């Protein structure tokens, strides 16, 4: 659902960018608590930060795996629901935003003038809607891992058509082609309901896998934690004990992301995704403009100068996973340290 340049006019694109920037600013503030340095630290926050960069890298890799959803149409993971459930809603918005930034600037995927639109629809709307649906379901479902997995499935399923509706609303305000709004709404929601089924399956499978190994690392499963035990002294090596399993999970997740982005992505569907198909069929792309970074050596997820689609695309996927991991991890560490520095200054004053 990456919106290219030219679909939305300049005033609405600027307005969407302003709203997206405000949402990211709010998310930066909220992520401090989720990542472990808020005034009231969230349960398990100290274990969230090491995984947030990995979640962003995994989202990048899985977004390369377009899957067929209908004749001549494909879809790919948006990732808002998955990120929100695994690392929290504020950090989830930042994870998807990091992916979108790198896709736009390095891979010429998603227009630069449309970056605010893409962050708003693919990061903010998906996360907010998904987490709201998930939270509501957790209030009524019985406590257990199955309810977390089922809630993640439902949240992801709803989040994708919600993003399509958000795009339709933005298009109603600033669409550059004269296409009846009802036609845009019907086409976008119809195909993205189907894409939502794929998103829901991927999200539930991933959340279920992490729950099976380390449920304490799933932000949205905090209520499954064991009751607090009072001890007069810590058990030997208690503080260091969780680190090795976290490192193993981190290494396994990174390896999976590299395999998906560097290898499995070669077999992804070549059909246009939902927005591309709807735009081509209905004339929404009449004013589409060339991407400002179309000359990037990684444009279209291929490395310039490398012969062979498999090798070129695989290297691009590996570079993308590595870059997302590095940028995401650096950003999340900076968020933690900024809050820690602020608290230390308050204590000294």
Domain ranges of the chain: 10-223+244-338
Burial 34-67 (b: 16+ CB within 10 A, else e): bbbbbeeebebbebbbbbbbbbbbbbbbbbbbbb
Residue pair 89/103 in contact (Cβ under 8 Å)? The answer is no
Task: Tell me the pLDDT tens digit for each residue of 289-334.
Answer: 999 999 999 999 999 999 899 999 999 999 999 999 999 999 998 8
Please, are residues 281 and 86 in contact by the beta-carbon 8 Å criterion? no
Instruction: Give the whole-angstrom CA distance, residue 104 versus residue 85.
Output: 25
Question: Quick one: pLDDT at residue 49?
Answer: 66
Angle between helices 45-63 and 89-107 (to 10 degrees): 40
- Angstrom distances, CA of residue 244 to CA of 202, 205, 249, 254, 322: 27, 24, 9, 15, 22
CA-CA distance, 61 to 258, in Å (whole number)?
7
Q: What angle (nearest 5°) sits at the alpha carbon of residue 11, between those of residues 10 and 15? A: 115
Verdict on whether the full-model pTM lies above 0.75: yes
What is the C-alpha to C-alpha distance for residues 127 and 145, in angstroms, rounded to an integer? 21
Place of tokens 């059909």: 271
Distance CA 278, CA 27 (A): 31
Place of tokens 């900024």: 338
pLDDT value at position 233? 46
| Domain range 10-223+244-338, CATH class | mainly alpha
SS3 at position 175:
strand
Predicted pLDDT at 248 = 86
**What's the confidence (pLDDT) of residue 226?**
45
The strand ranges marked E within the chain are: 67-70, 73-75
Return the residue matching tokens 């990542």.
35
Residue closest to 190 by CA, chosen among 340, 102, 73? 73
Neighbours of 286 (CB within 10 A): 14
φ, ψ of residue 68 in degrees (nearest 5): -70, 140
Residues of the chain under the 50 pLDDT cut: 37-40, 226-243, 346
């Amino acid at each position: 659902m990456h919106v290219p340049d030219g679909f939305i006019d300049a005033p609405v694109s600027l307005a969407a960018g302003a709203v997206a920037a405000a949402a990211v600013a709010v998310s930066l503030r909220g992520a401090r608590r989720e990542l472990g340095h808020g005034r009231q630290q969230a349960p398990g926050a100290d274990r969230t930060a090491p995984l947030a960069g990995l979640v962003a890298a995994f989202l990048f890799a899985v977004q390369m795996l377009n899957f067929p959803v209908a004749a001549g149409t494909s879809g790919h993971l948006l990732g808002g629901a998955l990120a929100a459930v695994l690392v929290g809603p504020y950090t989830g918005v930042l994870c998807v935003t990091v992916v979108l930034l790198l896709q736009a600037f390095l891979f010429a995927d998603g227009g630069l003038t449309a970056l605010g639109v893409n962050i708003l629809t693919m990061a903010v709307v998906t996360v907010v809607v998904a987490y709201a649906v998930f939270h509501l379901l957790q209030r009524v479902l019985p406590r257990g891992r199955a309810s977390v997995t089922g809630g993640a499935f439902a949240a992801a399923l709803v989040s994708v058509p919600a993003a399509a509706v958000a795009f339709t609303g933005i298009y109603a305000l600033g669409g550059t082609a004269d296409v009846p709004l009802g036609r845009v709404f019907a086409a976008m929601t119809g195909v993205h309901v189907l894409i939502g089924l794929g998103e829901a399956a991927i999200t539930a499978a991933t959340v279920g896998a992490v729950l099976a190994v380390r449920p304490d690392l799933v932000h949205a499963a905090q209520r499954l934690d064991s009751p607090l035990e009072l001890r007069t002294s810590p058990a030997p090596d208690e503080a260091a004990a969780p680190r090795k399993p976290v490192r193993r999970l981190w290494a396994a997740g990174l390896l999976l992301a590299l395999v998906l982005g560097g290898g499995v992505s070669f077999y992804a569907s070549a059909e246009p995704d939902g927005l591309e198909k709807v735009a081509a069929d209905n004339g929404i792309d009449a004013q589409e403009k060339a991407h400002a970074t179309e000359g990037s050596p990684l444009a279209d997820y291929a490395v310039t100068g490398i012969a062979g689609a498999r090798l070129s695309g695989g290297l691009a996927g590996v570079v993308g996973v590595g870059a997302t991991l590095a940028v995401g991890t650096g950003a999340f560490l900076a968020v933690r340290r900024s809050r820690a520095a602020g608290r230390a200054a308050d204590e000294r004053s």
